[in-house]
Structure 1
Amino acid sequence: MVFYRSMNLGHPGSPDRAALESALSAAGARGVKSFQTNGTVLFEANDPLGVVAEAAKALQAAAGYTEAAMVRGLDLLVDVLDSDPFDGHEDSRTYRKTFTFFDGGRSIELKLPWTNAKDDVDIVELREGLALSIIRKEKSNAGSPTAEIERMTGVPATTRTLGTIERLVKAAGLG
């Protein structure tokens, strides 16, 4: 599967669902299913990284989309969900539980759980290319684990909620 950064299907600078699915299929993906409108796509491929790299050319041509894409396997998400990483970290201020995907960049060295200076993001677990966080929302502003991870690593990141990940795994027939 692939998690695109800053994609909003059908909006300026992003492809529509048909263009997104077509680009991945033409690049060799099978069983392509765009999930929601945020650039989360379930697919199968012998070379998922190669498929996403090839599809990027079509997405740029079709919609001018040039943002990062993070490819992950379902096994990672199932493993994370099975480990219940948010247990014991929630409180009455919890707004969302999130998965933030990133590739490369500077190493993150934190004592976990870690809380940002604004007290609206707690990173509770780090895995290679994945930060699991709890965010809080004061008034209309929610914490941004994406911004925190991008600041720490210097590379693009993208975030999905726990609910999105749970629905994605279920749609794949594993949840």
Structure 2
Amino acid sequence: MTFTHAVFYRNMNLGHRGSPVRAVLEQSLRDGGAAAVRSFQTNGTVLLDLGGEGTHADAGAVVAAAAPLLADRAGYAGTGFVRSLDDVAAALDGDPFALTRDERTYRETVTLVDGGQPLPVELPWTDPRDLLDLVAVRPGVVLGVVRGGPGAGGDPNAAVERFTGGVATTRTLGTVQRLLASAARA
């Protein structure tokens, strides 16, 4: 098995109302054309093996083919963001969080965005409440630092969507690092 792509679903929480259970998610992606699938955690993050010489376009086609199956089988109608694992790893190169990380840091985040316009603010950008820094932009990705703790911190997803007009989903840096490590072990 060689995982080459990941899908980051928006507003998916496996087993909850409006979201599939793990087996349905994985089977829907296999039925959509993936050679192998591994759901990672419960937040709608999935590794894809396209088989052979699968391309990014092929990964997008798999996710598109799985979308009506997920709607029919689980009532899920959200968006799946497809990224190559190489692009995800490249977005984290170096230490893009170093300039804004401090003792108040709650989470470092990776926000995937599709559509809309480029981020129209100079980086690093800090929200007026000092609970969120947007620190770097990579193709289809905005990196951020959240302060404030659970339920009281900044919201990178909302900020990125407001600025760009696109659709976004966010994962913690730790989740993305564990996803890349899991793919490397497969």
Sort the TM-score into its range (normalised by shorter chain). Answer: over 0.9
Unaligned runs of 5+ in 1: none
Maintained 8 Å contact 2:91/2:138: no
Q: Deviations over 1:18-69 (max 9, x none)?
A: 0000000011112200000000000122200000000001000011111111
One of 110, 116, 127 as aligned partner of 1:116: 127
Q: Greater CA deviation, 159-168 or 136-145?
A: 136-145
Whole-Å Cα distance in 2 between the matches of residues 71 and 151 of structure 1?
21
Q: Percent identity?
A: 50
Does 1:161 pair with 2:161?
A: no
Unaligned runs of 5+ in 2: 1-5
**TM-score of the superposed pair, with normalisation by structure 1:** 0.95
Does 1:100 pair with 2:111?
A: yes
Instruction: Determine the structure 2 residue equivalent to 1:58.
Output: 69
The alignment partner of 2:163 has SS state of helix
Whole-Å Cα distance in 1 between the matches of residues 150 and 97 of structure 2?
23
Does 1:127 pair with 2:138?
A: yes
Q: How does 1:30-41 map to 2 (within 5 A)?
A: 30-41=35-46
| Aligned partner letter, 1:129 | G
One of 6, 11, 21 as aligned partner of 1:6: 11
Does 1:28 pair with 2:33?
A: yes
Q: How much has 1:143 moved relative to structure 2?
A: 1.1
Whole-Å Cα distance in 1 between the matches of residues 71 and 41 of structure 2?
20
| Aligned partner letter, 1:23 | S
One of 126, 132, 143 as aligned partner of 2:154: 143
Q: Call closer, same or farther: CA 1:131–1:139 in 2, change over 3 Å.
A: closer
| Aligned partner letter, 1:72 | R
Q: Call closer, same or farther: CA 1:139–1:163 in 2, change over 3 Å.
A: closer
Q: Greater CA deviation, 150-159 or 33-42?
A: 150-159
**TM-score of the superposed pair, with normalisation by structure 2:** 0.89
One of 144, 156, 172 as aligned partner of 2:183: 172
CA RMSD, Structure 1 to Structure 2 (Å) = 1.3
Whole-Å Cα distance in 2 between the matches of residues 105 and 153 of structure 1?
5
Q: Call closer, same or farther: CA 1:83–1:139 in 2, change over 3 Å.
A: closer
Whole-Å Cα distance in 1 between the matches of residues 30 and 137 of structure 2?
32
Q: Deviations over 1:84-106 (max 9, x none)?
A: 21123201110000000011112
Q: How much has 1:150 moved relative to structure 2?
A: 1.1
Q: Call closer, same or farther: CA 1:92–1:32 in 2, change over 3 Å.
A: same
